[in-house]
Amino acid sequence: MNLCIPIRHDEGLDSRVSPHFGSAPAFMVVDVDSKMHQTIANAQKHHEHGQCSPFEVLLGHSIDAIAVGGIGAGALSKLLAANIPVYMTKHATVDEVVEAYKLNGLRRLDPNDTCTHHGRGHDGHGHRHGPSAKNP
């Protein structure tokens, strides 16, 4: 089972999770059983609001699910339409996300959980999630 996680910099399993899917510098795809991993640079990280193209970046890679700190409505809708489940994580590193996933500790997202305010960071300064998004 391959889990895709947006990351800030490639530091292997100690990579820090990027707070937003579409503008992450890279993605790490991890086999949750073996923890073998691969990093994919995000050529789409500089996009206009609503123009994230995750499929262009992730095309050709075997991805069974995605874990994110935040994601826009367009990207979430494209992933859900492709039957790729998306999970919310507040964990700091890739390894922590993988372990939480293995223990069923991640909440699956629905369209109400998307980022509704772009242009500001995901650090609590002007960033809002939909009504069902809750911090653990």
pLDDT band at 73 (very low <50, low <70, confident <90, very high): confident
- Rounded average pLDDT over 10-35: 95
**Structural domains in the chain, sorted by start:** 2-113 (3.30.420.130)
At residue 91, the pLDDT reads: 98
Do 19 and 70 form a contact (C-beta atoms < 8 A)? yes
Q: Cα separation of 60 and 55, whole Å?
A: 9
- Mean pLDDT, the chain, whole residue set: 80
Nearest to 89 by CA among 34, 39, 24: 24
Please spell the DSSP secondary structure of 51-77, one letter per residue: ---HHHHHTTS--SEEEES--BHHHHH
What 3-state class would DSSP assign to 111?
helix
Q: Which amino acid is at 120?
A: R
- Rounded average pLDDT over 44-59: 59
Nearest to 130 by CA among 106, 105, 110: 110
Nearest to 73 by CA among 55, 56, 50, 44: 50
Q: Cα separation of 4 and 125, whole Å?
A: 26
* Minimum mean pLDDT range among 52-56, 65-69, 104-108, 128-132: 128-132
Q: Cα separation of 85 and 43, whole Å?
A: 22
Give the strand pairing for 65-68 and 2-7. parallel
